[in-house]
């Protein structure tokens, strides 16, 4: 049976990683918008095919004691197991190791990350802490894959058991069964994706920095030791992150947008990995959201987003570029956020980043003053209170 499964996997790999079907190649030219949507849909379908194959193969091996032992060991830490490394640790699974590495390479290509992520492994199997414990205790889970469609339009997700049977699970309700999830490592994908977006912004003449949570207190514009006037997050509440149960916690980030010290458009991105649960308030965060010395305006816009699979990041980058270029020629604040949001991809066939909230004309207060940000979606998006300080 293992030999048959392995051959089937290779056959599917050849199909998925081969050239575009002749029918597509000779089709009549489509308008640019339709052509881009078709390309995005084909990329999403290919990624789903790769993830589906791996979910089926993992499920079929759940009756194998050696495989279960390795799987439990890999999930025991943080609930995530790199698939290429997992299969490489299992005797007799070289075919799946090769397939997974080819799949990783194909996904990097489809997402436009091949230059930034050459050799990276994105595919993983993951589970929440409760599921990890249940599987380690001997419960046999189902295995599903994350669909690349916009989750707002996903009603059911497909899962498999060790006998090859298929199950359709409610995408909106956490199942009673233990479920392992095959998908992409969001942290790695986010880091590579931000490199692509920053490159696009730089090529368009838009300056800015990409700040991780642990870099919040690091100087960016002035020399170390020089006090900087900044707005820090005092408290933030995540009311709705648009993330379904099968994707685990959200990947929230923000764009701070305005005119830089040169008068041209500037976009700073801020990662917020500490936001892990919906409906939760995080206090005394002290993360720098706006470093005022980087901006010439006395007010800026802030947009909160949630990362998803993004079959193609070019649409997100294009939206930011188009939106913030309105800054040019304006010596004082003009609204930017809505222009960016309206340009974001909204095609239901792909899993693009989700808009969470927009905050307009955010201004610095006096030292030590705590004030709420004027955000649009409250109380269904983000509620944020800032404290202004020299840091």
**pLDDT (tens digit per residue) in 330-372:** 888 998 998 888 888 765 545 667 788 999 999 988 889 999 9
> Within 13 A of 352's CA, how many CA atoms are on the CB side?
21
Q: Report helix, strand or coil for 186.
A: helix
pLDDT for the residue numbered 64? 95
Beta bridge partners of 344: none
Question: Which pLDDT value is given to residue 60?
Answer: 96
Distant-in-sequence contacts of 28-36, Cβ < 8 A, 24+ apart: 36/315
Say what the alpha-carbon torsion angle 82, 84, 89, 93 is, to the nearest 10 degrees: 140
Closest CA to 153 of 165, 166, 171, 137: 171
Q: List pLDDT tens digits, range 200-223.
A: 999 999 999 998 755 544 444 444
Helix ranges (H only) for the chain are 2-16, 22-25, 32-60, 65-75, 83-88, 94-110, 129-136, 186-203, 314-324, 337-343
Say if residues 361 and 301 touch (Cβ distance below 8 Å): yes
Predicted confidence (pLDDT) per residue in 30-71, tens digit: 555 566 677 778 888 999 999 999 999 999 999 999 999 999
**What mean pLDDT value characterizes the chain?**
84
When mean pLDDT is compared across 174-183, 268-277, 368-377, the lowest value belongs to 368-377
- What does the DSSP 8-state code read for residue 325? G
* Continuous H helices in 176-291: 186-203
Residue 88, CB-side half-sphere exposure with 13 Å CA sphere: 9
Instruction: Evaluate the omega torsion of the peptide bond into residue 22 and state whether it is cis, within 30 degrees of 0.
Output: no
Which segment of 164-173, 314-323, 338-347, 382-391 scores lowest on mean pLDDT? 338-347
Highest-pLDDT range among 4-8, 12-16, 150-154, 268-272: 268-272
Which run of H or of E encompasses 94?
Answer: helix 94-110
Better-scored residue on pLDDT, 25 or 346: 346
What share of the chain in percent tops pLDDT 70?
A: 83
pLDDT band at 300 (very low <50, low <70, confident <90, very high): very high
Least confident of 36-40, 156-160, 272-276: 36-40
> Tell me: the pLDDT tens digits for 233-261?
999 998 876 678 888 778 899 999 999 99
pLDDT digits (tens, 9 = 90+) for 162-187: 999 999 999 989 999 999 999 999 88
**Residue 115 corresponds to which tokens in the numbers above?**
């230059």
Distances in Å between the Cα of 63 and the Cα atoms of 60, 66, 126, 170 are 7, 9, 18, 25
Q: What angle do CA 117, 323, 277 make, to 5 degrees?
A: 60
Q: pTM (2 decimals)?
A: 0.82
Q: Please report which confidence band the pLDDT of residue 19 belongs to, taking 50, 70 and 90 as the band edges.
A: very low
Q: What is the structure's pLDDT at 240?
A: 74
Contacts of 115 (CB under 8 A, 6+ apart): none
pLDDT at 18: 43
């Amino acid at each position: 049976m293992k030999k048959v499964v392995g051959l089937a996997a290779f056959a599917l790999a050849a199909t998925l990683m081969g050239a575009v079907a002749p029918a597509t190649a000779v089709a009549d030219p489509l308008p640019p918008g339709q052509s881009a949507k078709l390309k995005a849909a084909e990329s999403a379908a290919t990624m789903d095919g790769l993830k589906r194959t791996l979910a089926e193969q993992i499920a079929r091996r759940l009756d194998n004691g050696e495989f279960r032992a390795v799987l439990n060991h890999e999930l025991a830490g943080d609930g995530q197991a790199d698939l290429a490394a997992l299969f490489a640790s299992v005797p007799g699974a070289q075919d799946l190791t090769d397939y997974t590495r080819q799949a990783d390479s194909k996904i990097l290509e489809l997402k436009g990350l091949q230059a930034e992520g050459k050799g990276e492994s994105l595919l993983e199997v993951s589970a929440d802490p409760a599921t990890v414990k249940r599987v380690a205790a001997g419960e046999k889970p189902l295995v599903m894959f994350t669909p690349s469609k916009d989750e707002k339009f996903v009603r059911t997700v497909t899962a498999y058991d060790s006998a090859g049977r298929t199950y359709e699970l409610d995408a909106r309700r956490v199942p009673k069964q233990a479920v392992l999830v095959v998908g992409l490592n969001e942290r790695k994908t986010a880091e590579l994706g931000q490199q692509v977006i920053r490159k696009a912004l730089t090529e368009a003449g838009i300056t800015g920095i990409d700040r991780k949570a642990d870099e919040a207190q690091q100087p960016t514009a002035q020399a170390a030791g020089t006090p900087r006037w900044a707005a820090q997050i005092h408290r933030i509440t995540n009311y709705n992150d648009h993330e379904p149960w099968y994707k685990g916690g959200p990947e929230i980030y923000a764009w701070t947008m305005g005119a830089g010290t040169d008068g041209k458009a500037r976009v700073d991105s801020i990662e917020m990995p500490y936001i892990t649960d919906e409906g939760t308030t995080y206090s005394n965060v002290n993360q720098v959201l706006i470093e005022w010395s980087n901006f010439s305006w006395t007010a800026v816009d802030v947009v909160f987003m949630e990362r998803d699979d993004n079959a193609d990041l070019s649409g997100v980058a294009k939206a930011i570029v188009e939106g913030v270029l309105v800054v040019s020629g304006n010596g004082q604040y003009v609204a930017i956020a809505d222009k960016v949001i309206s340009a974001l991809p909204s095609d239901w066939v792909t899993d693009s980043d989700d808009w969470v909230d927009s905050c307009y004309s955010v201004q610095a207060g006096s030292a030590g003053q705590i004030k709420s940000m004027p955000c649009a979606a409250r109380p269904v998006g983000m509620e944020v209170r800032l404290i202004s300080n020299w840091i």
